[in-house]
Structure 1
């Protein structure tokens, strides 16, 4: 289940829009549909994955769709928070559990058009489960 323990910055409409786009891009239905996921990735998208690999825009949506079950287990999200860095530029930080593997995530979102945000950078760093 996608959960949120802290949604900081959601009083800023730009942060709230980027958070909504992040959650949509993490949903199994979006991840299983390459065209839908591609809508959220900027042409200059770049990722340093939790696996240690570098990922670019070309082929990413197709690779993700190939291994995602649209009815599968949703990604567990913890402590989503964001900050507007400039007009039309938002940084989000959160923690995810994907198939028992936890990672810290940071993503940078840019407004491509009114109401349309695209991720142009993501970084995943492996970590352990949350401690309370």
Structure 2
């Protein structure tokens, strides 16, 4: 039966399945500037059949996303921050994560599907959608 636990924001809080924890740990590794600078480290976390629909609208495969993302440093030199990280195990060996990122003020809703393989949990699909925060309500 799929695990439906979803503890927001803090990957170190109890209550998540080991599968969700593993996917979150790997997702955060993908955002680590050191991992993003290394084609070997970055590529090791991507499934051979990886596909991404990027925030730009582009479609990426494993080879192209490794080449593009590892060739450029973090914009502005600041690392990407995450918030509202949630995960659910949707099937045996499949975890779905949703979260938001902020890269120098560029906000993106993100959705990732992770698959368990003989090599561990690998990112199989990712999609990013830019968003603008809603203004606070005025009374």
TM-score, normalised on structure 2?
Answer: 0.82
CA contact (8 A) 1:95 1:102 kept: yes
Instruction: Kindly state the Cα deviation for residue 112 of structure 1 after the two structures are TM-superposed.
Output: 1.3
1:113 aligns with 2:118: yes
1:18-76 CA-to-partner distances (Å, cap 9, x unmatched) read: 0000000111111111110000111111011111111111232121111125xx31111
Instruction: Kindly state the Cα deviation for residue 123 of structure 1 after the two structures are TM-superposed.
Output: 0.5
- Counterpart position of 1:103: 108
Change beyond 3 A, Cα 1:130–1:22:
farther
1:123 aligns with 2:127: yes
Inter-partner Cα distance in structure 1 for 2:45 and 2:127: 16
- Counterpart position of 1:49: 54
1:94 aligns with 2:90: no
Larger Rg: 2
Inter-partner Cα distance in structure 2 for 1:35 and 1:64: 12
Change beyond 3 A, Cα 1:32–1:10:
farther
Change beyond 3 A, Cα 1:58–1:110:
same
CA contact (8 A) 1:80 1:92 kept: yes
Please list, as runs of the form range in 1=range in 2, the aligned pairs for 1:1-132 lying within 5 A after superposition: 5-7=9-11, 11-69=16-74, 72-113=77-118, 116-129=120-133
TM-score, normalised on structure 1?
Answer: 0.86
Give secondary structure in 1 for the equivalent of 2:63: coil
Change beyond 3 A, Cα 1:9–1:63:
farther
Structure 1: state its 5+ residue gaps: none
Aligned alpha-carbon RMSD (Å): 2.2
